[in-house]
Amino acid sequence: MSADKLNLIAKKLCEKPKGILAADESTNTIKKRFDSINVESNFEMRRAYRELLFKTPNLKNFISGVILFDETIRQEDSEKTSLAKYLLDNDIIPGIKVDTGAIHLEKNSQEKLTEGLDGLGKRLEEYKSLGASFTKWRAIITIDNESNMPSDYCIESNSFNLARYAKIVQDCDMVPIVEPEVIMDGEHSIEDCYEVTCKTLKNVFKQLELHKVFLGGILLKPNMVISGTLNKNQASIETVAELTLDCLHKCVPQDVPGIVFLSGGQSNELATEHLNEMNKKSKDLPWNLSFSYGRALQQPSLSKWFGKDENIQIAQEALFQRSQFNSEATSGKYNSENENKI
């Protein structure tokens, strides 16, 4: 595939007013979410839930692509059509999570290194045959000032793997989403998050350049610059937007078509408000700012479904509404007062 075609796919995924639905939860993660609504996490219930999400009427108005898990890209809907084909037929691009999870960076370290490079090329060929056009790989960066985390070794090791992954993906004619996540957990300040996020992004793009990755054919999925969840001084929406934009301007090359933020454990409303504020503040950015949310899109739907067929419609309406709010935020047109009208 030519560079132009990779660029076209990347642009379509982040084109306003749309964003990406992350539905790539591992079996363990989705079990935890099903446990919260007392639904058994078996193959059929997971399939039914994903079908509910993907078949939400007019979802394509707000969602450009869906990131799938290995199990999901192989599943069929109740009419024996593959879920990936259903998405394609409805003008939504299927993607696939390709990392295999994180291990401890060193024997006694709490820091993590994401794996999955072994055999990646062969897996990508299969995923392409199943309908995927883009991929995702997540690296985990933890802030803990008392333990001097993150270490340079952690940032550099994860940046190398992200770049190697992106190069392999592009060589297989697919678009890589590069996700270096500085996680929210901890007592750190927003200034700490700013410093670590800037350092991480600079390392990631240094490695992408060294690996000769075509920046016009990737998407960046970063965290927002935000206070640690346990910090008593939670930054305002305006401060989060200002510091996140400043970090991006310093670290992200203009060649990147789009930045699709992760929600990272923020509340549904805050994830939307932060994105909205960034798009209100800056009208002439070199990249589109959009969303690639998982829980922040799915939670309202999950909490209305409870595994019951009779709740499918109201669960789909909840996903539609949350997707619409985030769609509005990609243009800075979201109004938080509408949350109370649901």
Residue 221 known to be catalytic: yes
Q: What is the DSSP string of 258-321?
A: EEEE--TT--HHHHHHHHHHHHHH-SS-SSEEEEEESHHHHHHHHHHHTT-GGGHHHHHHHHHH
- Contact, 338 vs 89, CB < 8 A? no
Question: Which of the residues 18, 167, 221, 304 is marked catalytic?
Answer: 221
Instruction: Reply yes or no on whether 32 is catalytic.
Output: no
The backbone region for 227, taken as left when phi is positive above 0, alpha when psi lies in -120 to 50, beta otherwise, is beta
Task: Measure CA 156 to chain center.
Answer: 21
Encoded tokens for 187: 């007592």
- H helical segments located in 55-119: 70-73, 83-89
Provide the token pair at 196: 């670590």
CB burial of 123-155 (b: ≥16 within 10 Å; e: otherwise) equals bbeebeebbbbbbbbbbbbbbbeeeebbeeebb
* Angle (deg, nearest 10), helices 152-171 and 120-129: 50
Tell me the C-alpha distance between 179 and 127, whole Å. 19
Cβ contact 84:94 at 8 Å: yes
What 316-320 contacts at long range (C-beta under 8 Å, 24+ apart), as own/partner pairs, is: 316/52, 316/53, 316/55, 316/56, 316/57, 318/342, 319/53, 319/56, 319/59, 320/56, 320/57, 320/58, 320/59, 320/62
Q: What does the DSSP 8-state code read for residue 116?
A: -
Q: Which of 25, 51, 111, 179 is catalytic?
A: 179
Strands 93-97 and 63-68 turn out to be parallel
Active site amino acids: 179, 221
